[in-house]
Structure 1
Amino acid sequence: MQWDDYDAALFDLDGVLTPTAEVHMRAWERMFTDFLTSRGVSKPYTQADYFAHIDGKPRYEGVAAMLASRDIELPHGSPEDSSSEQTVCGLGNRKNELFTQVLRSEGITAYAGSLALLDHLESRGVAMAVVSSSKNAPEVLAAAGIADRFPVVVDGAVAAQRQLPGKPRPDTYTYAAEQLGVPSSRAVVLEDAISGVQAGAAGDFGLVVGVDRGAGAQALSDQGAEVVVQDLAELIGDR
């Protein structure tokens, strides 16, 4: 990896910097298992559903995609819906409550390899930003003790405020590069989700790196990752 060719690294958060994907997956499983059981749906929620319909997408889009996979129609509702309401937003809010409960009770630790790469890039003067579909990104970064490493965080709340389309569109990554003052062609996108590498491939970025945390190396490559690693420490080129 020749970091001299790039001026910025744009990181997805969940599954790339921190194992929050595991927390998200547990929260999604609990929420959808309870919901599908209450509806008498015979086909249960599985981990494959997470990667096929939810991974990397904004929360409500993930809910809608999962419901569509079971031919279930619900009103969209609004973000202010309570977690008990039978709407897309209500289910999404219930999942968020479960995620927050787990995060606060168990905490989170960044991947060792990711911390090593952050140290390496900082020493080289490479600008860094986090680009996450989750509105929980600031809380996760704080819980992991790495919030001060990122002067720019483009999360779900920023995307909504700026009316930026979410992944698989490239807009949030492009905006992050702009905020760092770096041309997108000099920025590297690092993603573990199919929708995330699609976002990188759809933009004018210097490189798209897939991090295989379960989506599959071939699937990430097929959707636009030019390099696929299992751990970010593999990207420390001069070790």
Structure 2
Amino acid sequence: MQQFTYDALLFDLDGVLLDSEPLHFEAWRRVLAPWGIDLDWDAYRTHCIGVADQDMLQFLAQRAPQPVSASKLWEQYPEKNRLFIRLIQERPPVPPELDRALERLHERGLPMAVVSSSGRADVLAALEAAKLKPFFRLILCREDVRSPKPDPEPYLKAAALIGASRPLVFEDSQAGLESARRAGFDVIQVREPAELPPLLWRLADQGLVLSQQP
């Protein structure tokens, strides 16, 4: 068998496969408004993307004009999830050509997985709305690990479950990049989801991610 560099692809979801972070932001902004918490995009992007839920909630609680605990804000999670799912079903934020690029890799038998810090309900709703779920052999979410990113556990566990020894990771957040690097895997930083389809086409065309019989 001819050997190529990578034997699997592992993707973060929000900000990599889908431009869904603005929808998470909008859902949180609406849920937090009754508490008087003014959440702007720059603060959300800096402190709430790619971090553990408890760290994010601590940050949000500190922005409240009146004392509120992170555990109290956690009680708003179901409503935030309902809003996010409704928003993503209304306008799935899928980059052009992403489905075709993933389909090409999927047809060639390349194992692919989603490795997300979001909850399973959000992840499945997003992938189903975007019609991307069938391309992935594994979907690993927040509930599936004890230590979230930047700990290496999410990527180590995903690689083990799909039988990959040298996967290539696609990430956007600093926590995600650190998680992949601490796992010992190569990682490409995706600055915005629109960058991903050209990367996948180029990698496939160059033969860097395919395993084939000679």
Shorter-chain TM-score bucket reads: 0.7 to 0.9
Q: 1:143 to 1:126 in 2, by over 3 A?
A: same
- Distance in 1, matches of 2:115 and 2:65, equals 31
SS where residue 5 of structure 1 aligns? coil
1:51 aligns with 2:30: no
Deviation (angstroms), 1:49: 1.0
Compared CA separation, residues 71 and 16, structure 1 to 2 (3 A): same
CA positional deviation for 1:50: 1.2
Measured on the aligned residues, the alpha-carbon RMSD in Å equals 2.6
Task: Say if 2:171 is the partner of 1:187.
Answer: no
Change in CA separation of 1:169 and 1:231 when aligned onto 2, cut-off 3 Å: same
Letter in 1 for 2:170: L
Q: Do structure 1's residue 102 and structure 2's residue 87 form an aligned pair?
A: yes
**Equivalent pair of 2:36/2:65 in contact (CA under 8 Å):** no
Shift of 1:141: 1.1
Percent identity (aligned)? 28
Tell me the equivalent position of 2:136. 150
The Cα shift of 1:173 comes to 1.1
> What displacement does 1:117 show?
3.2
List gaps (5 residues or longer) in structure 1. 38-43, 78-86, 215-228
User: 1:108, CA displacement in angstroms?
Assistant: 1.3
Could you tell me which residue of structure 1 aligns to residue 13 of structure 2?
13
Q: CA deviation at 1:72?
A: 7.3
Specify whether residues 125 and 197 from structure 1 end up closer, same or farther in structure 2 by C-alpha distance, changes over 3 A only: same
Structure 2 length-normalised TM: 0.81
Counterparts of residues 168-187 of structure 1 (less than 5 Å): 168-183=150-165, 186-187=166-167
Shift of residue 48, structure 1, vs aligned partner? 1.1
Question: Aligned pairs, how many?
Answer: 200
SS of 2:184's partner is coil
State how far apart, in whole Å, the 2-side matches of 1:141 and 1:101 are.
Answer: 13
1:96-118 deviation per Cα after TM superposition (whole angstroms, max 9, x unaligned): 232123234x1415222432431
> Deviation of residue 91 (structure 1)?
3.5
